[in-house]
Amino acid sequence: MKISYHGHSVVQIELGGKRIIIDPFINGNQLTDLKVENLNLDVIILTHGHNDHVGDTVELAKRNNALVIANHEISTFLSWQGVNTHAMHIGGAHQFDFGKVKLTQAFHGSSYTTENNEIIYCGMPAGILFMAEGKTIYHAGDTALFSDMKLIGERHPIDLAFLPIGDNFTMGLEDAAYAAKLLGAKTIVPIHYNTFPPIKQDPKQFIEMLENKNGKVLEPGEFIEL
């Protein structure tokens, strides 16, 4: 299984001939190495409804006939736009042919802002547990620190965790480092930083703050194999 990072919160998973992407914010993301027109995808998973996470989902899903997995509200909103969706919600899991997906809680907002300046409510934000080939990947989405991260790690031993470090909208360096301790993941990768001025952070400083020194900074396009 190959897991690559592509700036902001964009993570791609490749396994068994399937390509899965989480939070495909491509256009408008100055840190990404991806181009929408070059992406071939089978599945899109969304953590919440903010525009910098839903990103290019509609265009990508329609062009690739890709399945979009998200909470019920986001799935309904996207289905009205002709997108093939699978609705889930917090605490629920589903076994797909490429792996198992479970949504965890996250503490954040979740809404989509349209071109007409309408704000669409998009249900509860989520984190993602992705389980396949005997490995577990955790994408925390946008979230504050919360104590049940310890429970998540105990219930689902995590091989690779992606944690936001940008502060202002999510956890900052200190809280994210404590989150890593609670989760007990084998490897921690920072996400959701440096895309915009309010979330400017030094990911190497975050790695140094980890108690177990088990972090890795991935530049856009770099990957980890599990």
What is the reported pLDDT for 138?
Answer: 98
What is the reported pLDDT for 5?
Answer: 98
Q: Where are the domains of the chain?
A: 2-216
Percent of the chain with pLDDT over 90: 99
Q: Over the stretch 32-78, which tens digit does the pLDDT of each residue have?
A: 999 999 999 999 999 999 999 999 999 999 999 999 999 999 999 99
Q: In what helix (H) or strand (E) does residue 43 lie, and over which residues does it extend?
A: strand 43-45
**Rounded CA separation 201/62 (Å):** 35
Helix, coil or strand: residue 159 = coil
Q: Over the stretch 123-140, which tens digit does the pLDDT of each residue have?
A: 999 999 999 999 999 999
Both tokens assigned to 24: 């495909």
Q: Got the DSSP string for 120-131?
A: EE----EEEEEE
In terms of residues, how long is the chain?
226
Q: What is the dihedral of CA 24, 48, 31, 180, to 10 degrees?
A: -120
**Of 216, 157, 174, 226, which Cα lies nearest the Cα of 191?**
216
Residue type, 35: K
**Rounded CA separation 191/179 (Å):** 13
**Rounded CA separation 9/24 (Å):** 8
In the block, residue with structure tokens 């400017």: 200
**Rounded CA separation 163/192 (Å):** 8
Is the model's pTM score more than 0.85? yes
Count how many Cα atoms sit within 13 Å of the Cα of residue 115 in the half-sphere of its side chain. Answer: 0
For the chain, the maximum distance between any two Cα atoms, rounded to a whole number of angstroms, is 47
Of 121-125, 188-192, 211-215, which gets the smallest average pLDDT?
A: 211-215
Q: Which CATH class is domain 2-216?
A: alpha beta
Helix, coil or strand: residue 100 = strand
What is the reported pLDDT for 82?
Answer: 96
**Of 43, 46, 98, which Cα lies nearest the Cα of 77?**
46
Bridge partners (DSSP) of residue 189 are: 162
**Rounded CA separation 68/206 (Å):** 32
**Rounded CA separation 170/163 (Å):** 10
